[in-house]
């Protein structure tokens, strides 16, 4: 069984030949940073619109998780778009020497009567050319970028494998269902540096 039910949360990982758990840095507890911090190389805090956030980057009070907010944050940290929004092609994932890349996942969300793209996750390309993610405050793992994309109809589940059911101390059963990360909406890049603060 994969730790923290990764295969339940991301069913496509079951068939991903790239999948591999990455041992975390023991000097940085996993519960102290998230996927955005991991992608930025800043494993000192939870980086998100409702947590650590650059002072000079817009917070949208009505749509704080809007993909544009995260794009602005990445631009603040030196990234630029290397694919069109919602126009990512396979070549955008190709490794480039001296370049760091991240992939933003997005899906539609409706709030205050407005439908927009919200951005629940980011993954990064490793120096090896492979891609990796941090599952919230849990595991770090390698994967193919498309393995975290949502499957059609992933919001509705009639049956769940037993391995996705976790007994709770009170006798109830917690069912780990697929995460709705939507699809890869954008790839961004910046010049690589040997050390980032």
Q: Is position 33 within any domain?
A: yes
CA distance 128 to 194: 14
pLDDT of residue 1: 46
Region 25-41: what's the mean pLDDT? 92
Question: Does any domain span residue 141?
Answer: yes
Has residue 136 got a pLDDT over 90? no
Among 84-93, 100-109, 168-177, the range scoring the smallest mean pLDDT is 168-177
Domain that holds residue 136: 3-149+163-191
Q: Is residue 124 included in any domain, yes or no?
A: yes
Asked if residue 160 has pLDDT above 80, the reply is no
Nearest Cα residue to 16 out of 26, 31, 6, 5? 6
User: Can you give 51-110 as a three-state secondary structure string?
Assistant: CECCCCCCCCCCCCCEHHHHHHHHHHCCCEECCCCCCCCHHHHCCCCCEEEEEEEEEEEE
Global pTM?
0.90
């Amino acid at each position: 069984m994969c730790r923290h039910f990764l295969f339940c949360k991301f069913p496509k990982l079951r068939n991903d030949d790239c999948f591999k758990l990455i041992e975390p840095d023991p000097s940085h507890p996993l519960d102290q940073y998230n996927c955005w911090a991991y992608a930025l190389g800043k494993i000192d805090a939870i980086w998100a619109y409702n947590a650590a956030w650059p002072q000079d980057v817009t917070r949208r009070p009505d749509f704080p998780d809007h993909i544009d907010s995260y794009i602005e944050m990445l631009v603040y940290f030196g990234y630029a778009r290397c694919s069109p929004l919602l126009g990512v092609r396979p070549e955008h994932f190709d490794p480039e020497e001296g370049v760091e890349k991240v992939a933003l996942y997005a899906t539609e969300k409706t709030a205050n009567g407005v439908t927009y793209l919200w951005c629940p996750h980011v993954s990064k390309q490793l120096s090896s050319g492979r891609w990796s993610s941090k599952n919230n405050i849990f595991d770090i793992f390698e994967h193919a970028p498309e393995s975290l994309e949502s499957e059609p109809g992933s919001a509705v589940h009639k049956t769940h494998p037993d391995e996705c059911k976790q007994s709770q101390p009170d006798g109830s059963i917690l069912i780990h269902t697929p995460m709705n990360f939507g699809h890869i909406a954008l790839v961004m890049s910046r010049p690589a540096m040997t050390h980032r603060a």
